[in-house]
Amino acid sequence: MKNKSWVFRLVPHGDLWVSDTANGWGAGKQILFPGGVGLPDSEGLTVGADGALYVTTERDNANNTVALNSVLRFDPNAAGTTLTATMQWNLTADFPELNVPGKSNLGFEGVTFVPDTYLVRNGFVDQSTGAVYYPSDYPDHGAGLLFAALENDGKLYAYALNRDGTAHRVAVVDTGMGHVMDVQFDADLQRIWALCDNTCSVSSTLLAVDATGAIVPDVIYARPASLPNVNIEGFAIAPDSTCVDGVKEAIWSDDGIAAAGHEGHALYRGTFPCGLDLGEQGAPPTVDLGARGAGAVSVAKKGTLHVRGSGFEPGETVRIELHVKKKVDVLASVVADDLGLALADVTIPTGVQPGAQEIWLVASSATVTAGVTIATPAAHP
């Protein structure tokens, strides 16, 4: 991708990458904002679960002194030599610190799609609710979150992008680097890569979900000795299916190939080891009671309790129990869904005495508990 409103489709040809000549891609395709207007300052690119291209912008190059931090969606199969965005999520208002002179070029750089399967199975916490991330809280967002890398502060911003053009910020991730220029989800390592340019000596940080449900730096890799310490702003890594002799290909892109100190190459090729054992990650299983949020809640006899458990094995049976001293009432049995979530609305039995009790979620893989207070129903007038 070229940050002057162009994207390219390259295919391997021997030791080189050359332009794909199919479907109008031979000289690249100019991209436009919705309505076919403007000059997107295209910075980051990823492919979503829907097969569409998602591109981050930090400006409109037709008005490049003003910040425009947005995510654009494109259909890569559209015919012709231009691509017009089918959707735009304008997130500029979330970053008022960039709406000042000299800051418009410090906005969104990289972007990656992180699937809900990874986030939920590792107990990722939704910072906007303080509870485990439940995709059902964002029914219009698709199958994952978009993580955008902000150059200004070195952080990743996770958004649920809704099909109606609205967005909800779910979390902010500190990469541990002063600046960040690209971000990639690695489906094989089940980690998230964050790349910094020469301001961090072109280092790459792998991030993982820790035991509290936060995404944190896990491992830091220095650049290859032969990679110049210049404006390397793009990074991609091949899947394990391409491994040969224990390594797979990694690609870096140079943002200023003609500048002093650069070597005139748009792309650099290297290798990365296959089959790394990076250990376990993720938070333990948990249960939330109520519409949103964790912790003890109050419910009346015969009242309905919304039970949401996470961290189970997909397809296993989870028993929902009410523990009152030594008495156990089985309120429901549910099958954990493809994300390992156990979701149910249960009714509190009439014979339960008021007071502090416990809800247990019991499965072969784990048992988790949460407090619940049984309240006396209000008297009828």
CB 174 within 8 A of CB 155: yes
The whole-number average pLDDT for the span 277-292 is 86
Per-residue confidence band for 377, with pLDDT thresholds at 50, 70 and 90: low
- pLDDT, residue 1, reads 66
The whole-number average pLDDT for the span 336-351 is 91
Query: CA-CA distance, 104 to 96, in Å (whole number)?
Result: 11
- pLDDT, residue 301, reads 59
pLDDT tens, 112-157? 999 999 999 999 999 999 999 999 999 999 999 999 999 999 999 9
- pLDDT, residue 376, reads 59
Does residue 362 surpass a pLDDT of 60? yes
Query: CA-CA distance, 305 to 228, in Å (whole number)?
Result: 59
Per-residue confidence band for 261, with pLDDT thresholds at 50, 70 and 90: confident
- pLDDT, residue 380, reads 39
CA torsion through residues 155, 219, 241, 270, sign: positive
How many other CB atoms are there within 10 angstroms of residue 25's CB atom? 17
Lowest mean pLDDT among 124-128, 176-180, 325-329: 325-329
- pLDDT, residue 211, reads 97
The chain-wide mean pLDDT, for the chain, equals 91
**CB within 8 Å of 180: residues ≥ 6 apart:** 109, 110, 149, 150, 151, 154, 155, 156, 194, 195, 196
Question: What percent of the chain has pLDDT above 90?
Answer: 76
Lowest mean pLDDT among 253-257, 261-265, 325-329: 261-265
How many other CB atoms are there within 10 angstroms of residue 129's CB atom? 16
This model's pTM is above 0.75? yes
Question: What percent of the chain has pLDDT above 70?
Answer: 94
Torsion, CA 73, CA 75, CA 79, CA 85, rounded to 10: -20
Query: What domains appear along the chain, each with residue ranges and CATH number?
Result: 6-273 (2.110.10), 286-375 (2.60.40.230)
User: Closest by alpha carbon to 269, among 56, 53, 14?
Assistant: 14
The residue with tokens 């150059």 is 151
Give residue 200's identity as a one-letter amino acid code: C
User: Closest by alpha carbon to 173, among 236, 221, 120, 125?
Assistant: 125
- pLDDT, residue 378, reads 45
- pLDDT, residue 295, reads 46
pLDDT tens, 199-217? 999 999 999 999 999 999 9
- pLDDT, residue 324, reads 86
- pLDDT, residue 224, reads 93
Helices (H) and strands (E) in the chain, counts: 1, 30
The whole-number average pLDDT for the span 78-105 is 94
Per-residue confidence band for 259, with pLDDT thresholds at 50, 70 and 90: confident
User: Closest by alpha carbon to 364, among 285, 280, 281?
Assistant: 285
- pLDDT, residue 350, reads 80
